[in-house]
Amino acid sequence: MDDAAIASAEDYMTKAIDLLGQTNTARDKMAAQKDILLSKLPAQDSSRDKAPKQLPQGVAFPKIPRFKGDKGSFSSFWTVFEEVIDKADLSNVIKMTHLQNYLQGEARQLIRKFRVADENYELAVEEFQKKYNNKKRIVIDLYDALDSLRAKSDAVKDQRELLEQLQVVIKQLEDHDQTLDILMVQKSIIRKFSRQIQERLYDKKLDSEEDEDWTIATLITDLEKVITKQEKLNENLKANQESRHQSEKKANSQRPQKDTKGSSSENSKE
């Protein structure tokens, strides 16, 4: 190879090395610029932006309950809505539409004042939680609900309905870390039931070998047993009454019938 060819090759290699160096420099600058831009982005709230995990095949997401504005049921509504919709990989417009669709009554009216738009979803959720996720207000409302519960009548079915309503409110109060093992609370609950239920409740307590005060849990358990026993007693009494009625009806049908036609003809002959 002559000197000219060697010089040309060396010149080509020099230019190639320079070009490669410029490429690496540009790449390093782009990487540095990317790091700068990423550092300026606001940190994401993992609790709200993290999409829910994929459920195993064949397992459906839980059904989202409707929310009408009852503060006591807010927690159960929002827990499911947050997992299924709020954390999902959906646009804020779609999330807001879902939120409106699952609300009813005053809760829906609160959200409808916000125009359906991407930037309004977070504002709507903030106001929604501000109104219904006020834990102090929720507890006060639950105690008011507990105080206002009354049975429709002394009938056993209405006593049963009262017990079920009490169980719902008590469970919600316990979920809000309220201690109900207080004598005053227990007495107020007992007084809500009919005199018959109260008497049988205290009879059960006196007959018990355990000389321990009621807790709210044992009180509800004893009320459940007393009402269940009364329901079974009423069922047995009703069954016996129906059986006696059927027996009397059968006995009456087997008695010989008087011949009213013959009697009337004999009377006419006389």
pTM for the model: 0.56
How many structural domains comprise the chain? 2
- 261 assigned to some structural domain: no
Query: 113-157, pLDDT tens digit by residue?
Result: 999 999 999 999 999 999 998 888 889 989 999 999 999 999 999
Give the pLDDT confidence of 62-118 residue by residue, as tens digits: 789 999 988 778 888 999 999 999 999 999 999 999 999 999 999 999 999 999 999
Same domain, 156 and 203: yes
In a domain, residue 176? The reply is yes
Residue 39 included in any domain: no
Asked, for residue 113, whether it belongs to a domain, the answer is: yes
Cβ–Cβ contacts within 10 Å for residue 135, how many?
12
C-alpha dihedral sign at 109, 114, 120, 123: negative
Q: Averaged over 13-37, what is the pLDDT?
A: 57
**Residue 232 structural domain:** 142-242
Say yes or no: 116 and 207 in one domain: no
> What pLDDT, on a 0 to 100 scale, did the predictor assign at position 42?
46
Compute the C-alpha angle 245/249/254, nearest 5°: 150
Dihedral angle, C-alpha 187, 192, 196, 202, nearest 10 °: -20
159 and 127 in a common domain: no
Cβ contact 87:94 at 8 Å: no
Indicate if the pLDDT at residue 52 is higher than 90.
Answer: no
